[in-house]
Amino acid sequence: MTKKIRTALISVYHKDNLEPVIRQLHTLGVKLITTGGTQQFIEKLGIPVTTVDSITDYPHILGGRVKTLHPKIFGGILRRDENESDRKEVEQFQIPAIDLVVVDLYPFENTVAAGGSHAEVIEKIDIGGISLIRAAAKNYNDVLIISSRDQYAFLLDILEKKKGESTIEDRKLMATHAFNTTSHYDTAIFNYFNKDENVPAFKQSVLEARSLRYGENPHQQGIFYGKFDELFEQLHGKEISYNNLLDIDAAVSLMAEFNEATCAILKHNNACGVASRDSLINAWKDALAGDPVSAFGGIIIVNRNVDKAVAEEMNKLFFEVLIAPSVSPDALEVLKQKKNRIILLQKKTALPAKQFRSLLNGVVEQDRDSKTESAADMKTVSEIAPDAKQLSDMEFANKLVKHTKSNTIVLAKNKQLLASGTGQTSRVDALQQAIAKAGHFNFELKGAVMASDAFFPFPDCVEIADKAGIAAVIHPGGSVKDQESIDYCNKHRMAMVITGIRHFKH
């Protein structure tokens, strides 16, 4: 069922790219109803308009808060052309039938993001605009709604190629877009008012979406909802996959812990190599040494500029993604030798304070784990206190254990990851896995430190660590048998500190 556009209501905040639409409507002889700034914009083009107040015979009031909220406007949008009773009332009350509504909304989110005052934010809560959009979308059977300047191209296509006639499919599609616009807008307003979470409700809305090659596996569909380009600029490489995104997220969260020159290599969301050094090239070499086997096909992240010397070393390894704050032009040419290699420049953008995931038939939400313990947060519970070097290594190891799948044990020395046991059902298994891995790559564990994401329920882990050469231990503490682990450390001249903070990661 096609509908000819004869009368259009146009009232927009943003005038970008509006002129071609106005001129084409005028060419087709469409009557234009408008108000406020849009009226002035159209009149400057030399095109006649009919004002809203000339139809309603009522002025704008309350400083412009009330302009279009009137039965003659909403009646013209909500009338049903095939309903005899509606037709009679439209004629009786001299209500103009409106076939096209072009309306956008006040920039509420932009005002909040720009740090506007509460009063400024409140004034950007659109009332008339959102009501017009909902009314036109509800009556898509008879009205075409354009709710964003992003849809002007779609409208121009109808005006130019279809001579102003829309199909029911056109109108329903735009109604769907309209309800997407209004629901997103209301979600943003609700979350602004509910910053203190006094109302227990979960509401998130993301308009940006990018289809992925597939989900976690090829038989699963995958879509990323979010503003990826706010965080990264992709300089090179293939389309980013679902699994790439999981690794990138893990890598960015881990690297946020470090200030000195650091390189981390991740595989399946866990670090397999990390080192902090006086230069990036040394950090790269020592991170790779941590596990050169797992590094194959991994994700690399650094927090310093990648120069040509570093790029040439990295280029010897096959890897999926490189994340860096900057890459020098000659280094980029080296790295681009692999056409599918993804190279991302990380922008300085804060990560969300909340995390959530689907679970069962709902969603769980939590605060991001933003707690990072420094030496000042470590309480020595053993008779022997750790020295400065051990404290530094324990701080380093504790950052890694925070970002490794539980149950986990991390072994480190000289600010280098020697090995980790990841995702084990037993903490003993995690430790034995880490020791075996360190041995496989010929690391000397004598003098190394051990970090655990949770307490030791028994002293068996410190005993195993001691026999492997581990000199100092950091863990949250909190077990009813903590003292047994402490006693073992005292008996065998090991240093132990507790932090009081658990870092489970599932």
Average pLDDT over residues 291-305: 97
Among candidate residues 133, 350, 344, the one with its CA nearest the CA of residue 247: 344
Average pLDDT over residues 376-394: 96
Q: Mean pLDDT for the chain?
A: 94
| Structure confidence at residue 60 as a pLDDT band (50, 70, 90) | confident
Average pLDDT over residues 299-312: 98
324-353 per-position pLDDT tens digit: 999 999 999 999 999 999 999 999 888 889
What does DSSP assign to residue 410? E
496 close to 381: Cβ distance less than 8 angstroms:
yes
Average pLDDT over residues 177-206: 94
Average pLDDT over residues 314-331: 97
Which pTM was predicted? Answer: 0.88
pLDDT in the model for residue 53: 84
SS3 325: coil
Assess whether pLDDT exceeds 70 at residue 210. Answer: yes
Average pLDDT over residues 78-105: 91
CA distance 136 to 297: 52
H/E segment holding residue 181:
helix 168-193
Assess whether pLDDT exceeds 90 at residue 463. Answer: yes
Selected catalytic residue, list 124, 184, 268, 492 = 268
pLDDT in the model for residue 54: 83
238 is catalytic: no
304 close to 322: Cβ distance less than 8 angstroms:
no
Average pLDDT over residues 92-97: 90
Residue type, 417: L
Selected catalytic residue, list 31, 70, 138, 238 = 138
| Structure confidence at residue 55 as a pLDDT band (50, 70, 90) | confident
Assess whether pLDDT exceeds 80 at residue 57. Answer: no
> How many other C-beta atoms are found inside a 10 Å radius of the C-beta of residue 209?
9
Q: For the chain, what percent of residues have pLDDT higher than 70?
A: 98
CA distance 100 to 378: 66
485-496 per-position pLDDT tens digit: 999 999 999 999
Assess whether pLDDT exceeds 90 at residue 68. Answer: no
CA distance 96 to 32: 11
Helix runs in 217-344, H state only? 228-231, 242-255, 280-290, 308-314, 329-335
SS3 2: coil
203 is catalytic: no
Residue type, 130: I
pLDDT in the model for residue 30: 95
214-261 per-position pLDDT tens digit: 999 999 999 999 999 999 999 999 999 999 999 999 999 999 999 999
Average pLDDT over residues 447-470: 96
| CB neighbour list of residue 202: distance below 8 Å, 6 or more residues apart | 356, 363, 365
Give ∠ CA 136-138-143 in degrees, rounded to 5.
Answer: 40
pLDDT in the model for residue 64: 67
Q: What is the tally of helices (H) and strands (E) in the chain?
A: 19, 23
pLDDT in the model for residue 22: 96
| Structure confidence at residue 67 as a pLDDT band (50, 70, 90) | low
Assess whether pLDDT exceeds 90 at residue 62. Answer: no
